[in-house]
Structure 1
């Protein structure tokens, strides 16, 4: 008798796991990330025109710089203002962006009962993570303030054996990772998404598969991410 049989029989292959996306035009969708059968939650929001104009102005004037900060709901706004160093000609624009980011920090920390979060604000003119992959983390918040946004795949559309070295050097579109370009989903500018990773409890083999969007000619992206720390 194989002594391993009782153990292996209890292991549920990743292919049999069911995971779905939750999407709503309301921030109240965010707690659905706690549902075991959900590996991405998307708050489909339209940015206020004043915020969009502010971001466009700041990027056009080269007034933003990449940031990596450890922030709390209490100090996020002040830390951002200090780091971005607004000047007289862009003070209102910087304030608008910092207020929105601080709100997301508060929501993220409240949702996951965190005292602090790891904040990264990046201006990108090329893909940061061009290949589809999963993150070895519990969960990450992502939002794109300007430009094309993150691409992702439904769990049921992924052949996970083709991730990483399993692609055998072939592009994602040719490796067998997914069957059709129609399988690729994409966030929109302004969307706030929670991406569940491999280190979420009981989510090994079901972390969201995602990548940076292909490079858009003459376009910069402003990307915010929040992580557990």
Structure 2
């Protein structure tokens, strides 16, 4: 976890609006993700103290209709702890969902201080380098910019509009009509004073 926190903590550099922990999922975690991807469950949404995440997640997942997935639950708790360490917050808002369409398909910046995102399975989020983001803001067609893309398992910490005048511009990958599915985790700091 120390390596992850060190990498994600780069987000505090004023010149950086995206920090990426380039990890690969181990076999057990990938197997849990592949199994969950077959289900169409309602999104799991929780807001709770970081200290309670590990104990609460397994039961909350089952209560929300998700099949047991102990490795995913452990990893979500680990990532919540990483975000809490980097952002110095005691509580997080967490969402896990299976996505089958073009959610958030337009390039945008989030109205948050920071947001941690990972795709456990399926295509990862896409983002623009600062030059392409500036070109898009100046009126260039979205078809003329070339996005970068997260790989499954990679963990990204996005800087949002509440923190920076130059937040990361990103979108969900367009998958509608392809038959692809994504298992995506999103974690936000739940406290506005996280940057203090």
Aligned to 1:219: 180
> Given that residues 66 and 120 in structure 1 are in contact (C-alpha distance below 8 angstroms), is that contact kept between their aligned partners in structure 2?
yes
Gaps of 5+ in 1: 1-25, 174-178
Aligned to 1:73: 50
For 2:28, what is the secondary structure of its paired residue? helix
Q: 1:133 to 1:158 in 2, by over 3 A?
A: same
Instruction: Give the alignment of 1:70-219 within 5 angstroms.
Output: 70-85=47-62, 91=68, 94-159=69-134, 162=137, 172-173=142-143, 179-180=144-145, 183-200=146-163, 203-204=164-165, 206-215=166-175, 217-219=178-180
Distance 1:161 1:104 in 2: 32
Ranges of 4+ aligned residues in structure 1 off by more than 4 Å: none
Q: 1:44 aligns with which of 22, 30, 35?
A: 22
Aligned to 2:193: none
Distance 1:121 1:146 in 2: 12
Q: CA RMSD in A?
A: 2.0
Aligned to 2:189: 228
For 1:159, what is the secondary structure of its paired residue? helix
Instruction: Give the alignment of 1:26-37 within 5 angstroms.
Output: 26-27=3-4, 28-37=6-15
Query: Which structure would you say has the larger RCO, counting Cα contacts within 8 Å and 6 or more residues apart?
Result: 2
> Given that residues 41 and 194 in structure 1 are in contact (C-alpha distance below 8 angstroms), is that contact kept between their aligned partners in structure 2?
yes
Gaps of 5+ in 2: 191-196
Distance 1:59 1:42 in 2: 23
For 2:112, what is the secondary structure of its paired residue? coil
Normalising by structure 2, we get a TM-score of 0.85
How many correspondences in the alignment? Answer: 183
